[in-house]
A and B are shown apart, each in its own frame.
Chain A
């Protein structure tokens, strides 16, 4: 790669960092994640407890699946919030006029959602340990799974959030578009957590590989496709 190529890559990531910082600053000021998304996620964990008759053994067995279903539901809110930022005060027009590459905008927005998902996952991990009595057998696997799955959810979510934005009924459209695409993340992350939390005898590290591939594919596809979204 020549010096021009290196410069372009550096510019891509510098711009992405600017977008991510802007989104996180908006989040820090509005506190939507802390005041609305996180309480919603904890509420879902409690509702699962009620639905499963508050049986600690059952909850411990199914904690990985319940954890990831909760993450996906909360991620829908985070993604919708991330996309709506661009429509408030016509911010997306400002981004287009800034001359930033579409891939930079995509990576920046996905990075901001990723950070929010990581915060959410930390809270939910505490939630399942306290409420469901889960025990962490393999912290490294747990942490890496949380990161790999968050990459997949954040990148796919950002792409689909941009895709549904500006269309009628986007609030109802986003879940039916996004959730089936995230099926491999749900299965992979649940099985990996099964191993990390000692809920089932599976090879969680193999599942981590699938999550990493999903995250990589989603990042590349998202960066390539985001240009077509912001052409509008």
Chain B
């Protein structure tokens, strides 16, 4: 049991971590060695076009985008759970998923911007619905994490953070609507995944990306949850310790008073 209070690792999480590392090595091989760059020939002019090597970024970008939504949705559900049940488990889950989700969301924005430079010829496109919605989502959860880092009584902070998370999730469809109406356009391509327009090995690598980054996500969530749980236990332990010390102090005072009284009687 000593291990459970000094480390966030366990045999299960170490196995998960090892599997994730092997998966990442495999994904790197597929992304950079086995798959070809996206080069196509124009049917009439014969000129080369496509995403070229930038396509390899999508093996990271697309899974991260999906995981961002998974994380923030988990955060919203856990926040609602906390407001209903008031259990620390819900609060720690909400905090962990928001933190991991914000990292994923930041990576989506950065990789998307790097990918956009050669493919769209711009680092940033104002008016692209998905881009703007993702940015606002990132800013909303940056605020959430700032609230989490503000010193406050734990239950008060948990309650307020839960409300911020729920408002953020409700706000997102409105942001999406407003940005869509704002420009009514997107540079993002329509899903080629559903129509299986992308080639076999590329599709396989993308799917492998989903699995591997899903494992990375699970590993991060597991450890972040355990860190949060240890922090929660530590805070409770400190309170218990302070109460015990105060009791001991009171008992000493009582004994002193009793001795004083006896002494006075002599």
> Which residues of A pack against B, CB within 8 Å?
156, 159, 163-164, 166-169, 173, 176-177, 179-181, 183-184, 187-188, 191, 206-207, 210, 213-214, 217, 221, 225, 228-229, 231-232
Contacts and interface: CB of A to CB of B under 8 A. Distances in A.
A177 B182 contact: no
B152 A167 contact: yes
B164 A210 contact: no
B163 A228 contact: yes
Contact of A228 (B142, B159, B174): B159
Interface stretch (B8-16, B52-60, B117-125, B143-151): B143-151
Given A169-B150, A180-B140, A210 B83 contact: no
Nearest to B153: A232
Interface stretch (B102-110, B165-173, B190-198, B255-263): B165-173
What's the interface size class on B, roughly? 20 to 34
A214 B159 CA distance: 23
A48 to B, nearest CB: 19
Nearest to A176: B143
Contact of A207 (B157, B162, B181): B181
Nearest 5 pairs of A and B residues by beta carbon: A180-B139, A184-B178, A177-B143, A184-B174, A187-B178
Contacts of B144: 177
Contact of B160 (A187, A207, A210, A229): A229
Contacts of B175: 183-184
Interface in B29-59: none
B73 interface: no
B163 A163 contact: yes
B167 A221 contact: yes
Contact of A214 (B151, B168, B174): B174
B177 interface: yes
A232 B170 CA distance: 24
Nearest to B152: A167
Given A184-B171, A210-B178, 6 more contacts: A163-B147, A176-B142, A176-B146, A181-B171, A221-B170, A232-B153
Nearest to A214: B174
A168 to B, nearest CB: 5
B157 A191 contact: no
A173 B178 CA distance: 25
A210 B152 contact: no
B266 interface: no
Contacts of A228: 83, 159-160, 162-163
A222 to B, nearest CB: 9
B151 A210 contact: no
B148 to A, nearest CB: 11
B78 to A, nearest CB: 15
A178 B164 CA distance: 10
A61 to B, nearest CB: 16
Given A180-B139, A221-B167, A228-B83, A188 B178 contact: yes
B143 A217 contact: no
A210 B146 contact: no
A167 B178 contact: no
B156 to A, nearest CB: 5
Contacts of A207: 181
A130 B152 CA distance: 46
B151 A177 contact: no
A147 to B, nearest CB: 18
27 contacts: A156-B167, A163-B163, A164-B147, A166-B156, A167-B150, A168-B151, A169-B150, A173-B150, A176-B146, A177-B144, A177-B147, A180-B143, A180-B171, A181-B140, A181-B167, A181-B168, A183-B178, A184-B175, A187-B178, A207-B181, A210-B177, A214-B174, A217-B170, A221-B170, A225-B167, A228-B162, A228-B163
